Copies of this chain bind each other. A is one copy, B any other.
Amino acid sequence: MTNRQIIIADLPTDALTPDHFKMIETEMPQPGEGELLLRVILMSIDAANRSWLRGATYRAAVTAGDAMPTYAVCEVVTSNSPKIAAGDIVAAEAVWADHVVAKAHKVQKLPRVETLSHLMSVYGIAGKTAFHGLMSIGRPMAGETVLVSAAAGSVGGYVGQIAKALGCRVVGIAGGPDKCQWVIDQFGFDACLDYHEKGLGKALATACPDGVDIYFDNVGGKVLETALNVMNERGRVVCCGAISQYDTDSPFGPRNLPGAIVVKRLKMEGFIVTDFAKDDAKCLRAMGHWVSTGQIKVTEDIVDGLENAPHALIGLLAGDNKGKRMVRVAADPR
């Protein structure tokens, strides 16, 4: 029995291409004491994958010859731990492969849901990030206006749909007219503005006639600067990410910071999803409710086949996904 694995053939120095990856076959890994053999079912494809190839971040750098790391939903094939049984579905830090070995205490048992891929999207990191950031930092109230950047991304769509469910006016920002229209059609945003167009400030003022009470910021940079200008007094800026600043050597500092914070008495606050783990059950119950009522539509961008993982990542970096992108390595075993 062999095991397919995708390794980094060469570290990219510029744009990522398929040549930077190589599929190899190895022997099937054997789990030791306290370990599990996992079958990889779904692999999360994230912009962060690319950043791991640039050097150490919150994880060690990935170098040539390493298998590409990934967050994955897996089925337990063999368990050498009393706490996990064969057949369990778990979340694990895995690699791009058919099978991996993991320590039992490092995986997380996942609940049974009807559609397994939802554990990667609405009930996964994307949905939890949207819920916790919006609810715990943004604290939306019916009648308020919520602005969301990267609105077509994996988190932004949930932020807008939750805010709509709560009675807010919701305006998105995304790249390109197609994505903007899709955000409106798919998620029911009241408006969505293309940041590639000139005059974003004026467009925002028009789309948000009562100003903005909550800005859910996934991008930072100039879009943040522009958004701060339309914030209302005592508005809240949920600092979720700064994707516009990740791939540059000359970061842009919003010139109205901290001035706008002082004058408008804004609150800006950052978080990561695990800060609110204590509220995860509440999040999953609420998201499940809104999925059941149709107020949250789950959009997933599933690429089939381990061998297509490099293309899935390269395409994501070019912005060709709509909704949460993942690679399906194996069918749902249930």
- Residues of chain A touching chain B, judged by Cβ–Cβ distance below 8 Å, are 51, 57-58, 217, 220, 224-225, 237, 239-242, 245, 251-272, 275
- Bound-state CA distance A57–B260 (Å) is 10
A262 touches B275 (CB 8 A): no
Q: Is the CB of B270 within 8 A of A242?
A: no
A253-B253, A254-B253 are known contacts. Are A270 and B262 too (CB-CB below 8 A)?
Answer: yes
A223 to B271, CA, bound (A): 24
Determine which of B251, B255, B258 lies in contact with A256 in the assembled complex, contact meaning CB atoms within 8 Å: B251
Per the bound structure, the CA–CA distance linking A57 and B257 in Å amounts to 15
What are the residues of chain B within 8 A of A57 when measuring CB–CB? Answer: 263
Count copies of this chain in the complex. 2
Complex: chain B residue closest to A222, CB-CB: B253
Sample 23 A-B pairs with CB under 8 A, ordered by A number. A58-B263, A220-B257, A220-B259, A224-B258, A239-B258, A239-B261, A239-B262, A240-B262, A251-B259, A253-B256, A254-B257, A257-B257, A260-B270, A261-B268, A261-B269, A262-B272, A264-B270, A265-B271, A265-B272, A265-B275, A267-B268, A268-B268, A268-B269
A198, chain B: closest CB distance, angstroms: 20
Would you give the shortest CB distance from A329 to chain B, in whole angstroms?
Answer: 28
Q: Which residues of B contact A254 (CB under 8 A)?
A: 253, 257-258
The answer to whether B269 touches A245, judged by C-beta atoms less than 8 angstroms apart, is no
User: Could you say which residues of chain B place their CB within 8 Å of the CB of A259?
Assistant: 220, 242, 245, 251
